[in-house]
Chains A and B, each alone.
Chain A
Amino acid sequence: MEILDYAFMQRALIAALIVGVTAPAIGIYLVQRRQALMGDGIGHVALTGVGLGFLLNASPVWMATAVAVLGSVVMELIRWYGRTRGDLALAMLFYGGMAGGVLLMNLSDAGSNANLGTYLFGSITTVSPQDMTTIYVLAALVLAITVGLRRQLFAVCLDEEFARVTGLPVRLLNLLVAVTAAVTVTVAMRVVGLLLVSALMVIPVAAAQQLSRSFAVTFAAAVGIGVVVTVAGTTTSYYVDVPSGATIVLFAIGLFAAFTALAAPLAKKRARAASEAGKGCTLEVPAGRVPADDVRV
């Protein structure tokens, strides 16, 4: 395969693969907590970090990571203390982050509007060897947390109040989810761009849950779907000359649509299997415990 002959394409494919694994891995907890759009908010805030990196001549990736982590911690704090109009505070943070990024980038000499585009929508073929080191380190961190602490994170994202009474360090775990999401955003920034990052956190999970009944299967399937769409999207963008980020997201939406179409017949089949197993209507008196309010006929 000639695509693998180029070093930049090798890096692009590895980066795509890593994003395909990490984004759904943390995204599933955000979806579980019904905060599917949190990744989008962090992406907006991270742009200020990119602008700051250009202005201070620092690494945009590391600056974006720092600012995104800070932003996600602020979002978590807003969730704790400002329950009343938390949505408005979050809106301020999102748009402030976006506006700050654009402004700072224009103030710097190195950052141009063309540069801005690659961060907003991704530019996978410009991933440098230094970027790769950063991506490896951050991805290892994300995987260690999302897989290693899956039972704790599952409990906290399902029912915070119950998790607190179980004695779990709920605030710490919530912060960990927020920070991990922020790190994932900056890992994925080069591949799909800050505006499309959240799509890769949410859509594979949404597609996977069309066909699955358990959290574990949804997790594995979402990661599988993530890998398929990122690698397929990157390969397509090499041959057809289309932007990688947009291609990946559209592939993911295509898979979601296909899985949704498959879900209805599958549900019917499961219902039929259940009724064949003797759960259908019958006039026979059940053999086991008869409820006291059963009406005899």
Chain B
Amino acid sequence: MKDRDQPAIADQPVIEDAPVMEDEPVIALRGATASLGARPVLRGVDLTVRPGEVVALLGANGSGKSTAVRSVIGQVPLTGGELSLFGTPFRRFGDWARIGYVPQRTTAAGGVPATVREVVTAGRLARTKLGILRRADRSAVHHALELVGMADRAKDSVNALSGGQHQRVLIARALAGEPDLLIMDEPMAGVDLASQEVLAAALREQVARGTTVLLVLHELGPLEPLIDRAVVLRDGCVVHDGPPPKAVGQHALPGHDHVHPHADASAEPLRTGLLS
């Protein structure tokens, strides 16, 4: 883990059950297997994330990285192996308020118009009793909007936002619950560079507070300095667990937009989008 000073942020709402820096892993996934239909997608994945760590899950399309994070939050049932969250076996885990989740989406909108604030407030439900909003809840929502630079758009309809702004709203929704563990599935997909930098800054502030982060990425991009460890998956198996691979060549250039098509998956042994 990198050295990080942890500044006290003045206007930060205090959480009663602040994370205790025990050495118990936040996520402990051991020998996990899972399949979608008849196809095995995870074939014995070990993934440990310790408190305060920022772990990136990398791999080609279809390598199982999305399935791996979705199994961690119980959205894909494991067919084998063990999972515990915050030291509690998954079956007995119920402390969902400690987890903030950013699903892989291109839109934050539903069938009815909703304002940015309404969508972000939905992320606060885990911490409110019976959905009644108190002052602390409103300020947490406002703080989350400020973190992603969307506070001035709070009253706008989400239908009027750009792709990058949708992603910022989805991340603010996860941050509104003041989670100890932030799980993000491709948060940078389809996000313009300006939004990517806003999101990287927001994430840096969360990490400075001691938030643990697990994120699925196609490539490291502006988040690279924040990543402590990278876990690379290929065909449902972990093929690398250690320091993040260094981007080289064209991919290392600032502002490189990863839009060119990949070669056939079988043509190269490892498709992380980082080493090619």
Say whether A and B bind each other: yes
Which residues of chain A have a CB within 8 Å of any CB of chain B? 28, 31-34, 36, 149-152, 154-155, 157-159, 161-168, 205, 209, 212-216, 218, 291-293
Interface SS of A by simple majority: helix
Known interface pairs A166-B96, A293-B194, A293-B255; A205-B126 also in contact (CB < 8 Å)? no
Q: Is B271 an interface residue (CB 8 A)?
A: no
Residues of B contacting A155 with CB < 8 Å?
122, 125
B114 at the interface (CB under 8 A from A): yes
- Whole-angstrom CA separation of A147 from B6 in the bound complex: 42
| A70 vs chain B, min Cβ distance (A) | 26
A167 touches B115 (CB 8 A): no
- A158 near B193 (CB under 8 angstroms)? no
Q: Tell whether A154 pairs with B118 under 8 Å between CB atoms, given A293-B193, A293-B255.
A: yes
In the complex the two chains form, is B113's CB within 8 Å of A214's CB?
A: yes
Cα–Cα distance between A205 and B74 once the two chains are bound (Å) = 34
Provide the residues of chain B in CB contact with A214, threshold 8 Å.
Answer: 113-115, 118, 155, 157
Given contacts A154-B122, A162-B122, A291-B194, contact A215 B114 (CB under 8 A): yes
Q: B121 contacts the other chain (Cβ, under 8 Å)?
A: yes
**A166 touching B111 by the CB < 8 A rule?**
no
- List CB contacts (< 8 Å) of B182-230 with chain A: 183, 193-194, 197
A123, B187: Cα distance in complex, Å: 54
How extensive is the interface on chain B, given as a class? 35 or more
CB of B247 closer than 8 Å to a CB of A: no
Q: Is residue B151 contacting chain A, with contact meaning CB distance below 8 A?
A: no
Q: Are A292 and B125 in contact (CB under 8 A)?
A: no
CA distance A198 to B73 in the complex (A): 36
Given contacts A32-B110, A34-B111, A162-B103, whether A291 and B122 have CB atoms under 8 Å apart is no
Give the chain A neighbours of B111 by CB distance below 8 A: 31-34, 36
The chain B residue with its CB closest to the CB of A288 is B149
CA–CA, A212 to B115, complex, Å? 10
Task: Evaluate contact between B113 and A213: CB separation under 8 angstroms.
Answer: yes
Greatest chain A CB density within 10 A among B99, B105, B115 is at B115
The 6 closest A-B pairs by CB, nearest first: A167-B96, A151-B131, A213-B157, A291-B194, A155-B122, A165-B101
Compute how far the CA of A28 lies from the CA of B111 in the bound complex, rounded to whole angstroms: 9
Residues of A within 8 A of B103 (CB): 159, 161-162
Q: Which one, A158, A161, A205, contacts B114 given CB within 8 A?
A: A158
Residue of A150, A165, A167 with most partner-chain B CB within 10 A: A165
List A contacts of B121 (CB < 8 A): 151
Interface contact B112-A28, CB-CB below 8 Å: yes
